[in-house]
Chain A
């Protein structure tokens, strides 16, 4: 299996505070990784570090075999952020304009959006069943609709890896299930590697093949069943009040 993302002994600090300490893992092509841990464990920090949004203070990260400085094919990684709070809600962007932003990583200066790009956006919106929203203003959509549009933005560049940061928080139970089925389909049928931060531990058990459990440092990386039956699992579950052994019940 090809290793797509590899972290070796990475540490991250915010000022004087160490947020992540000595974490190592290697994610292979086609993996479906559930990234879990208690609140404040550093899950989002880890994802942002992988994406190059935060600097590492120690260790190395390689993406598709290259260090983050050498790596320029960011279109290979689709990202769905945790909340829409970083989005400017006054911004008068249409859904189509938001989706084509996912193509900017492939563009060279001066960046231009062509009719071919618009067709790609339309195709993704059609696949997600929201093409009727194309000309609507992003800010006027419901939380669930916005989430789907952001998923379309992540998918439009045909990425090899998709990173989701708690994608299901704005969704009702039915939409949540549909959302996870869609992610599973992308993983199984299109061999897209998935990294999923979620507190829906039941869904991790059902869909992920590996778990990356952190609590500022690495607790477990590997097979979920191994984690559930290991001594490491019990104290971790106590903290999150949920249980990952669910996959055996699903």
Chain B
């Protein structure tokens, strides 16, 4: 099939458009998460997202509208548990993540009617993204990117040296809350693209690829953005032409780019 012909499909255009925005948002946010050793929060929140989608389907609401507030609350809960109880951050993620999955499975079992719908969110499919979801993805991506831009130096300082950041008046606690909430929103957006199981890959892989090459933080953000964008565009294209699942293909392109970069560094 001709590539130009492929680009004429409306569903491909929508997938490219929404996917690009979400991918760039994930890469920008992922860089902060990876550097703060919070990479797995994406994994934990995506599991909560699974439970939240089940709630939405159970009560007959549009799942993502339910998922956004529920995942945001869960992200704050992770932060609270790791701050106030004698629990490490990764354990807090594990607790909240398990509750999300368990809740989703119970609701799926009780309802006996929406198993197929719910499980379609496990692996996502950007090729069936609706107009509403495109608008939601683009708008929320804009908001997340704008907030990263407005708080860029606070995020930079708190990630580079949190203790010093406090001495310059950076409200590091508020910055942690902001970062966690932005991650929650981004995870929900990413679920449609790569699914619950692979969300963390979209957050982690572009960031770790960029960190292999970048000589400075802004270059790292740009390289991460480019890697994420290429992964989504080529992932959609390959999945279409080779008839393989889109989300998994996007992740595999990401892994391939990471491998190429590692090889390039080894050769040089």
Contact = CB atoms under 8 A, between A and B. Distances in A.
Contacts of B152: 111
Interface string A44-82: 000000011100000000000000000010110101010
B206 to A, nearest CB: 14
What secondary structure prevails in chain B residues at the interface with A?
A: helix
Given A51-B166, A87-B160, 15 more contacts: A52-B167, A53-B163, A53-B167, A74-B167, A79-B164, A87-B161, A88-B35, A91-B160, A92-B216, A94-B217, A101-B161, A107-B153, A109-B150, A111-B153, A153-B164
Nearest to B162: A86
Given A90-B35, A92-B217, A98-B160, A105 B211 contact: no
B154 A72 contact: no
Given A74-B169, A92-B214, A86 B164 contact: yes
A97 interface: yes
Contacts of A101: 153, 156-157, 160-161, 164-165, 168
B53 interface: no
12 contacts: A74-B168, A86-B161, A87-B161, A87-B164, A88-B160, A94-B216, A97-B156, A101-B156, A101-B161, A104-B154, A104-B168, A104-B169
Contact of B164 (A81, A90, A112, A135): A81
Interface of B: 35-36, 149-154, 156-157, 159-170, 211, 214-217, 219-220
Interface string A106-138: 010111110000000000000000000001010
A153 to B, nearest CB: 8
Interface size class, chain A: 20 to 34
B217 A93 contact: yes
Nearest to B150: A110
A37 to B, nearest CB: 21
B93 to A, nearest CB: 20
B68 to A, nearest CB: 24
B216 A137 contact: yes
A154 B153 CA distance: 17
A34 interface: no
B35 A113 contact: no
Contact of A137 (B153, B161, B215): B215
A102 interface: yes
A193 to B, nearest CB: 16
B150 A105 contact: no
Nearest to A80: B164
B154 A111 contact: yes
Contacts of A79: 164, 167
Contacts of B36: 88
Contacts of A72: 169
A104 B36 CA distance: 20
Contacts of A77: 167
A74 B220 CA distance: 30
A113 B161 CA distance: 18
Nearest to A111: B153
Nearest to A110: B150
Given A101-B156, A101-B160, A107-B153, A91 B168 contact: no
Contacts of B153: 101, 104, 107, 111-113
A88 B150 contact: no
Given A104-B157, A107-B153, A75 B168 contact: yes
Contacts of A153: 164
